[in-house]
């Protein structure tokens, strides 16, 4: 659901960049030295890498000619807490935009808000946490609560994000995408995508609960991960999974357009809109300069290649580990010295 710059006016894109910057700043302010201790810093990097790799895999939505990919907001929030999760997802989206030309630079603030804020803050806080807290007293059925919380929160978060896309195009005056027609397509297709992502999220969290249930409790209760708790098994497991997903499974991603592109094509007859103007030219020029592997392949290779895709998956995951983990480390050090 990465928005392109052509879906936004410069005014709406600028305002949403400011809104997302304020949300991120608020998240940084709310992070304390206890909730972001030495245990969570590597988790931010590794989980961010897993989400980056996971977003490369589009899964087919049967009977629609469309596809979808995970957003990862609930998965991150359930293991890191909402504020570190938002920073991690914002890092993933920035890397995708600047280095792989996935999502526009003008649209970056919208993408952070639609994919990050709606899931990491709203859906996690008001859907996931209440369901999980009810499950505390039902140890025999805790996996059922994890599944219910995962699916419900992912679906609601994605529905809010999809509606955000429709509303932002409306406020931008994109006449090619009438509000009613666009809405009628965006919400149902992202409901289907949300159900699949919810099941995937539930599977991962059920595994975490079996191996290290304290990680889920830490995020839900907003408490630090115990210093004596070893997270090595989880970290190694997710690193291996990241390599498999980014370096291998990404080769089998669906070729169908994702839910946003599919909806746009159904309304306009084309999956990509175009805009002219100095702002669009400037943002496109910046991304063209920084994106060394546009569309997750080697530059200049329009048809793409298996080696290019696998390389992009592995390299992007490594960059995400460094950026997301580095941000976590800087905040942690800053909190200890204040």
Q: What is the CATH number of the domain that holds 71?
A: 1.10.1760.20
Q: Number of C-alpha atoms within 13 angstroms, CB side, residue 129?
A: 18
Is the distance from CB of 27 to CB of 83 less than 8 angstroms? yes
Pairwise CA distance, residues 125 & 122, whole Å: 5
pLDDT at residue 338 tops 70: no
Please tell me the predicted confidence (pLDDT) of residue 34. Answer: 67
Q: Taking residues 101-119, report their average pLDDT.
A: 96
pLDDT band at 238 (very low <50, low <70, confident <90, very high): very high
Pairwise CA distance, residues 36 & 40, whole Å: 6
Is the distance from CB of 203 to CB of 154 less than 8 angstroms? no
pLDDT band at 300 (very low <50, low <70, confident <90, very high): confident
Pairwise CA distance, residues 214 & 79, whole Å: 10
pLDDT band at 303 (very low <50, low <70, confident <90, very high): low
Pairwise CA distance, residues 123 & 74, whole Å: 8
Pairwise CA distance, residues 79 & 217, whole Å: 9
Domain that holds residue 263: 5-336
pLDDT band at 336 (very low <50, low <70, confident <90, very high): confident
Kindly report the average pLDDT of the chain as a whole number.
Answer: 93
Cβ–Cβ contacts within 10 Å for residue 61, how many?
21
Pairwise CA distance, residues 79 & 325, whole Å: 14
Cβ–Cβ contacts within 10 Å for residue 170, how many?
16
Is the distance from CB of 267 to CB of 185 less than 8 angstroms? yes
- Give residue 269's region: left, alpha or beta (phi > 0; psi -120 to 50): left
Give the whole-number percent of the chain exceeding pLDDT 70. 97
Helices 73-80 + 82-100 axis angle, to 10:
140
CA angle 100, 324, 337 (to 5 degrees): 150
Radius of gyration of the chain (CA): 19
Pairwise CA distance, residues 325 & 49, whole Å: 10
Q: How many domains does the chain have?
A: 1
Q: Number of C-alpha atoms within 13 angstroms, CB side, residue 78?
A: 32
Lowest mean pLDDT among 34-48, 66-80, 141-155: 34-48
Is the distance from CB of 293 to CB of 97 less than 8 angstroms? no
């Amino acid at each position: 659901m990465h928005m392109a710059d052509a879906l936004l006016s410069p005014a709406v894109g600028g305002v949403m960049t400011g809104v997302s910057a304020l949300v991120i700043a608020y998240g940084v302010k709310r992070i304390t030295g206890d909730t972001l201790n030495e245990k969570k810093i590597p988790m931010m990097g590794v989980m961010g890498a897993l989400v980056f790799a996971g977003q490369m895999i589009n899964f087919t939505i049967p009977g629609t000619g469309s596809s979808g990919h995970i957003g990862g907001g609930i998965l991150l929030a359930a293991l890191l807490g909402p504020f570190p999760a938002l920073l991690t997802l914002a890092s993933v989206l920035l890397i995708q935009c600047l280095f792989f030309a996935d999502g526009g630079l003008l649209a970056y603030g919208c993408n952070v808000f639609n994919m990050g804020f709606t899931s990491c803050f709203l859906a996690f806080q008001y859907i996931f946490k209440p369901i999980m807290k009810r499950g505390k007293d039902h140890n025999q059925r805790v996996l059922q609560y994890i599944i219910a919380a995962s699916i419900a929160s992912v679906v609601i978060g994605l529905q809010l994000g999809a509606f955000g896309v429709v509303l932002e195009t409306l406020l931008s005056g994109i006449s090619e995408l009438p509000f009613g027609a666009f809405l009628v397509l965006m919400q149902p297709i992202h409901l289907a995508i949300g159900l699949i992502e919810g099941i995937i999220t539930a599977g991962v969290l059920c595994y975490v609960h079996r191996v290290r249930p304290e990680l889920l409790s830490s995020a839900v209760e907003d408490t630090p991960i115990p210093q004596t708790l070893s997270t090595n098994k989880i970290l190694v497991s997710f690193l291996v999974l990241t390599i498999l997903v980014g370096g291998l499974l990404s080769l089998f991603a669906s070729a169908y357009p994702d839910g946003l592109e599919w909806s746009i094509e159904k309304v306009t007859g084309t999956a990509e809109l175009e805009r002219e103007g100095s702002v669009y030219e400037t943002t496109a020029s910046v991304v063209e300069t920084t994106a060394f592997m546009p569309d997750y392949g080697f530059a200049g290779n329009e048809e793409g290649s298996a080696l290019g895709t696998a390389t992009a998956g592995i390299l992007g995951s490594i960059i995400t580990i460094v950026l997301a983990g580095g941000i976590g480390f800087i905040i942690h050090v800053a909190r200890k010295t204040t």
